[in-house]
A and B are shown apart, each in its own frame.
Chain A
Amino acid sequence: GENVEQHPSTLSVQEGDSAVIKCTYSDSASNYFPWYKQELGKRPQLIIDIRSNVGEKKDQRIAVTLNKTAKHFSLHITETQPEDSAVYFCAAGPRTGNQFYFGTGTSLTVIP
């Protein structure tokens, strides 16, 4: 099955700086890569996703990039704000799969 690795496990940035979280996947058949944000004590919620036929997708201050050759994808958050503090999970979905495979999560702290 798919194996998703996520780095770093913790990340601290100053407010206004950028944050980058990276994930690698093992199954070249995976074609869907969502990112979920989980605030403290809350449920994970989708913030952005990308399909394998797209190299980059942006939504205001967040963006995701995908490198299919290297089998890695990244979440970029610019102009970070304290409310961006949360745990972020990447995931991969194989083209014919029934499951989503999650990374281990990155705890992001934005320091005011």
Chain B
Amino acid sequence: NAGVTQTPKFRILKIGQSMTLQCAQDMNHNYMYWYRQDPGMGLKLIYYSVGAGITDKGEVPNGYNVSRSTTEDFPLRLELAAPSQTSVYFCASSRGGGYAGNTIYFGEGSWLTVV
């Protein structure tokens, strides 16, 4: 049982490039999330999904896209990378939404630098 697995762990992008952060969970969780964490800052929700085929915007969705074709996978696409997207990205999952008993499990994080 690997939990939440995200790749790559580190990546340097040039301005204007695009890339996809991969995320997979093996806990059969319905809910999946992408957060970004800027240095010394809190967690900001980019996108989330409540099930396969359903995605919704979070607090900071601009510059990103997601898809959820299966329960297990929730990739995050960065289009036209900008220096402001330099951050640590965490994928996470939970059995249900933000109510009692639904612990969020985080991946190990992906460190992205845009130069």
Contact = CB atoms under 8 A, between A and B. Distances in A.
The interface size bin for chain A is 20 to 34
A98 B50 CA distance: 7
A89 B42 CA distance: 8
Interface string B88-115: 0010001001111111101111000000
The interface size bin for chain B is 20 to 34
A99 B58 contact: yes
Contact of A103 (B40, B42, B58): B42
Interface stretch (A13-21, A43-51, A66-74, A76-84): A43-51
A93 B42 contact: no
Given A99-B58, A103-B42, A104-B42, A32 B100 contact: yes
Contacts of B41: 104-105
Contacts of B50: 98
A46 B101 CA distance: 12
B45 A99 contact: yes
B74 interface: no
Contacts of B99: 31-32, 93-97
B34 interface: no
B108 A100 contact: no
B97 A98 contact: yes
A44 B98 contact: no
A93 B43 contact: no
